[in-house]
Structure 1
Amino acid sequence: MMNDATLRRIDLNLLLAFSVLMQERNVSRAAERLLLGQPGLSAALRRLREALDDELFVRVGRGLQPTPRALSIAPAIEDALSGIERAIRPQDEFDPATWQGEFRIGMCDNLESAFFGPLAARLLQLSPGARLIGIAAEKRDAARRLDDGVFDFSVSVHEEPASWHIRAPLFDQVSICIYDATQLRLKAPLSLKDFADVAHVTVSFEGNVSTGIDMALNRTGQSREVVATVPRFSALPMVLKAMPAIATVPESIGRCMAQLHGLTLCEPPLSLPADPVTMLYRRVDQADGRSRWFRRLFIDVANEALKASGCCVSIPRAAA
């Protein structure tokens, strides 16, 4: 265990002066290397002698001869200074091409459907030794699981973050209606009455039937009938293909579903609030080269995926 009282008597500059004096054995050359005047180096040497209660260096002719005490402590001081220098030197730039390990990302399944595949494909190109791990994450437990090291960052609609987290805005997630046109005949643009009269399917992890859509409908004097609720977005396309019903989903996954399953999209006939999708990560990882590279990769991939699907949003790269 370190002796704090002993260390308080010595600062790093004194140990550096000792190291250079051991190497040069000459006050003038040592002072030049340390960018000090000779009086300044002499004052530093005086403080060292007082702290260690030893002469340390004795003048012999034009040079300095270290005492036995100086010779005995020199290797340990050199090791300590070398360790400090290695610890504080600038980090090498992260090289994804040679890195081997895991990147872990937390997302709910609607965002996973939109972004995970393109992210995995790009990672395979840029970092072939890496593995991408997707973790199912809900906004209610994202912060706790982030602190537990379950993933590098979470992408979701997050609550107000703790002071040791960073919540970076990504994009506003608007809602879109989706249905199977072979099952359900609707005229575009969709009227409020048609929207309220048709059967609805909702997505809820906890099985909730009522959502913000019901509150928005109630303000217009309308109501709807929810005939089914599924716990995951991945189950929704098969439900819509099997029955005449409509669902209101986030635009990013809605456009993916429409492309993959031949479903039809339309704008909701009432104003629905957009959900702010954000990236949540630990403040201690803000400057880490590996973590920063992964966050920026996700933003680049997500922007391309949003653009390819037809979503009219973009993510600022500064979010990472």
Structure 2
Amino acid sequence: MMNDTALRKIDLNLLLAFSVLMQERNVSRAAERLLLGQPGLSAALKRLREALDDELFVRVGRGLQPTPRALDIAPAIEDALGSIERAIRMPDAFDPLSYEGTFRLGMCDNLETAFFGPLAARIRREAPKAKLVSVASHTHHPGQQLDNGEFDLSVSVHPEPASWHVRQPLFHQSSISIYDPDQLKLTAPLTLADFTREAHIAVSFEGDMAGDVDAALKKLGRTRSVVATVPRFSALPTALSAMPAIATIPESIARCMASLHGLAISKPPVELEASPVSLLYRRVDRADGRAQWFRRVFVEVAREALKTSGCSCDIAIAA
């Protein structure tokens, strides 16, 4: 254990002065290296002599001769100063090509469908030794998962963050309706009559039949018939292909499903509030080179994926 009482007598500048004097063995040259006047260096040497109870350097001619005590402690002081210099030195820039660790990302499956594939491909190209892990993000507890180290970065609709987290707005995502044109012979855009006449499948993690769509319809004095719910968006394409029904889901995943499964999309005939999707990460990771690179790459990938899919939402932050 460190002796706090002994260390309080000496500051880092005194040890640096000792090191330079040991190397130069000359007060003038040492003062020049330390950007000090000779009186300032002499004062520092005096304090050091008092703290260590040793003369340390004896003037011999125009130079200085170290005492046995000075010679004895010099290697340890050099090692200590070297360790401190290495500790406070600016870290090397993050090099994705040589990185062999794992990037961990928290997302729910609607955003995962839209972004995970392009993100994995991008990281494979630019950080070929790295691994990418997508972790299921619990909507109500992403901050806790972040603190537990389950992922480095969360992409979701996040509540007000804790003071030790950073929430960075990404984009506002609208909802659109999706259905199988072989099952439902409807023409986009859907009318309110179409929308309320046909059956609906809802995505609900808790199994609720009612949601934002029902609240919007209620304002118009209308209702819809929700005949089934699923806890994950990935179940929708096969369900919609098997029965005549409509699902109203976030635009990014709806456009992916439409492209992959031949489904039709339409703006819903009710006003639905867009969801504010954001990035959430630990404040301690704000300046970390690895974390900065991962966030930048995700933003670039998300922007390109949304643009390619034809989504109406725009990324709100610069890469």
Give the TM-score category using the shorter length. over 0.9
After superposition, what is the alpha-carbon deviation per residue over 1:41-74, rounded to whole angstroms, capped at 9, x for unaligned? 0011111111112111111111111112211111
> Which runs of at least 4 in structure 1 moved beyond 4 Å after TM superposition?
none
Which residue is 1:33 aligned to? 33
Instruction: State the shift of 1:235 in Å.
Output: 0.3
Q: Aligned partners of 1:70 and 1:317: how far apart in 2?
A: 57
How many residue pairs get aligned? The number is 319
Identity, % of aligned positions? 69
Which residue is 2:155 aligned to? 155
Whether the 8 Å contact between 1:21 and 1:30 is mirrored in structure 2 is yes
SS of 1:154 mapped into structure 2: strand
Q: What is the TM-score with the length of structure 2 in the denominator? A: 0.98
1:287 maps onto 2:287 in alignment: yes
Instruction: State the shift of 1:316 in Å.
Output: 4.2
Instruction: State the shift of 1:187 in Å.
Output: 3.2
Q: Aligned partners of 1:176 and 1:169: how far apart in 2?
A: 21
After superposition, what is the alpha-carbon deviation per residue over 1:238-295, rounded to whole angstroms, capped at 9, x for unaligned? 1000111001000000000000000000001111011100111111111111111011
Q: Decide which moves more: 175-184 or 138-147.
A: 138-147
Which residue is 2:231 aligned to? 231
Q: Aligned partners of 1:79 and 1:49: how far apart in 2?
A: 20
Q: Aligned partners of 2:189 and 2:314: how far apart in 1?
A: 26
1:242 maps onto 2:242 in alignment: yes
Which residue is 1:300 aligned to? 300
Q: Aligned partners of 2:174 and 2:181: how far apart in 1?
A: 22
SS of 2:133 mapped into structure 1: strand
SS of 2:29 mapped into structure 1: helix
Q: What is the TM-score with the length of structure 1 in the denominator? A: 0.97
Q: Please, which runs of 5 or more residues in structure 2 have no aligned partner?
A: none
Which residue is 2:6 aligned to? 6
Instruction: State the shift of 1:137 in Å.
Output: 0.6
Q: Aligned partners of 2:249 and 2:38: how far apart in 1?
A: 75
Instruction: State the shift of 1:5 in Å.
Output: 2.0
Whether the 8 Å contact between 2:192 and 2:270 is mirrored in structure 1 is yes
Which residue is 2:70 aligned to? 70
Which residue is 2:23 aligned to? 23
Which residue is 2:276 aligned to? 276
Which residue is 2:198 aligned to? 198
SS of 1:129 mapped into structure 2: coil
Q: Aligned partners of 2:228 and 2:317: how far apart in 1?
A: 39
Whether the 8 Å contact between 1:177 and 1:268 is mirrored in structure 2 is yes
Q: Decide which moves more: 143-152 or 257-266.
A: 143-152
